[in-house]
Amino acid sequence: MKVVRLATTPSTQEVARDLPAGSVVVTDHQSAGRGRLGRTWETPPGTALLASFVLPARPLASLAAGVAVAHACGPRARLKWPNDAMLGGAKLAGILAELHGDRVVVGIGINLSWAPPGAAMLGAGTDRDALLERLAAELERWFAAPDAEVLAAWRERADTLGRTVSVELPGERFQGLAEDVADDGSLIVAGRTVAAGDVIHLR
Ligand code: BT5
């Protein structure tokens, strides 16, 4: 991986989108970090791993990235659909996968020494460069893995499956048991296929 390091930037996603596959942009601080669906990603300077990896596009890119993050963060990290990494039931890391032609820019924010109220962090003692290296290796591994392996690995780390969840869709909300992920990465809740949206773990 070719690493581009920046002291500060509005968002590593914007820098990475112009780079070739095999690049990664890392920064200490983002002034306009982005989440999904126009939401913001907040981290005080120097308290998180903030990186955007440019990878070849593949099906299930978002789930593959989630599996890679969970593996890089350790055995206790779990996954909330579609791809939040969780620690002890709280959000540890967020992933934003954006498709640009034949490349996908995978933005990853992992809390290390700070987290907003109710969220989790990996700990101030975490070696950020070692974590970046583990992340790069895991992404390479899971982006090369067959779909069936990605799905199996996702299920193994899933915190969402087997729970009652609330599904938030544009203009609709319903509750039900999160039964499985479908072959295309959709979540199956009470027999309904949810391709995009947010879920809230109820119990
Ligand atoms: C995400 O969005 O979880 C994807 C976040 C991706 C951030 C990385 S950092 C490197 C790269 N550059 C960027 O600009 N972005 C990527 P979403 O599922 O929409 O969750 C966003 C929500 O998480 C916010 O609305 C808050 O409620 C919450 N949140 C914000 N900052 C957080 C933090 N540091 N830790 C935990 N939750 C946070």
Q: Are 20 and 54 in contact (CB under 8 A)?
A: yes
Which residue CA neighbors atom 16 of ligand 1 most closely? 107
192 and 118 in a common domain: no
**Spatial strand order in the sheet of 198-201:** 192-194, 187-189, 172-181, 164-169, 198-201
Q: Are 91 and 66 in contact (CB under 8 A)?
A: no
Same domain, 117 and 185: no
Range of the domain at 126: 2-157
pLDDT at 203 over 90: no
* Judgement on whether residues 77 and 44 belong to the same structural domain of the protein: yes
More confident residue, 83 or 110: 110
CA distance 54 to 6: 16
Name residues whose C-beta falls within 8 Å of residue 166's C-beta, 6 or more positions apart in sequence. Answer: 173, 174, 175, 199, 200, 202
pLDDT at residue 196, rounded to an integer: 87
Q: How far is CA 58 from the centre of its chain?
A: 15
- The end-to-end CA distance of the chain, in Å, is 40
Q: What is the mean pLDDT of residues 81-107?
A: 96
Given a cut of 90, whether residue 83 has pLDDT beyond it is no
Measured in angstroms, how far is the CA atom of residue 179 from the centroid of ligand 1? 26
Tell which atom from ligand 1 comes closest to the C-alpha of 84. Answer: 3
The DSSP secondary-structure symbol of 90 reads: E
Supply the mean pLDDT for the chain: 96
pLDDT at 99: 97
Pocket of ligand 1 (CB under 6 A): 11-13, 30, 33-37, 39, 41-43, 50-52, 84, 91, 94-96, 107-109, 111, 115-116, 119
Q: What is the pLDDT of residue 37?
A: 87
Which residue type does 90 have? Answer: A
The residue whose CA has the least distance to atom 11 of ligand 1 is 107
Task: Choose between 181 and 171: higher pLDDT.
Answer: 181
Of ligand 1's listed atoms, the one at least distance from the Cα of 10 is: 14
- One domain, residues 143 and 196: no
Q: What is the pLDDT of residue 170?
A: 84
The number of folded domains in the chain is: 2
Same domain, 139 and 174: no
How far apart are the CA of 43 and the centre of ligand 1, in A?
9
| C-alpha 7 to ligand 1 mean position (Å) | 19
Looking at the structure, do residues 101 and 127 belong to the same domain, yes or no?
yes
Residue 32 CA to ligand 1 center (angstroms) comes to 11
Q: How far is the CA of 49 from the centre of ligand 1 (A)?
A: 12
What CATH code is carried by the domain that includes residue 73? 3.30.930.10
Pair (77, 126) in one structural domain: yes
Q: Are residues 175 and 105 in the same domain?
A: no
pLDDT of 148 higher than 90: yes
The confidence band for 118, taking pLDDT boundaries of 50, 70 and 90, is: very high
Together in a domain, 29 and 66: yes
Q: 110 CA to middle of ligand 1, Å?
A: 9
Tell me, yes or no, whether 80 and 55 share the same domain.
Answer: yes
What pLDDT band is residue 128 in, cutting at 50, 70 and 90?
A: very high
Radius of gyration (Cα) for the chain, nearest Å?
Answer: 16
Residue nearest to atom 18 of ligand 1 (CA): 36
Q: CA 181, CA 184: separation in Å to the nearest integer?
A: 8
Listed residue (190, 159, 169, 152) closest to 60, CA to CA = 152
Give 25's strand partners.
Answer: 4, 52
Chain-centroid distance of CA 50 in Å reads: 11
Are residue 51 and residue 93 in the same domain, yes or no?
yes
| Among 13, 41, 91, residue to substitute to test ligand 1 (most atoms within 8 Å of Cβ) | 41
For residues 195 and 107, membership in a common domain is answered with no
Supply 103's token pair.
Answer: 């490349």
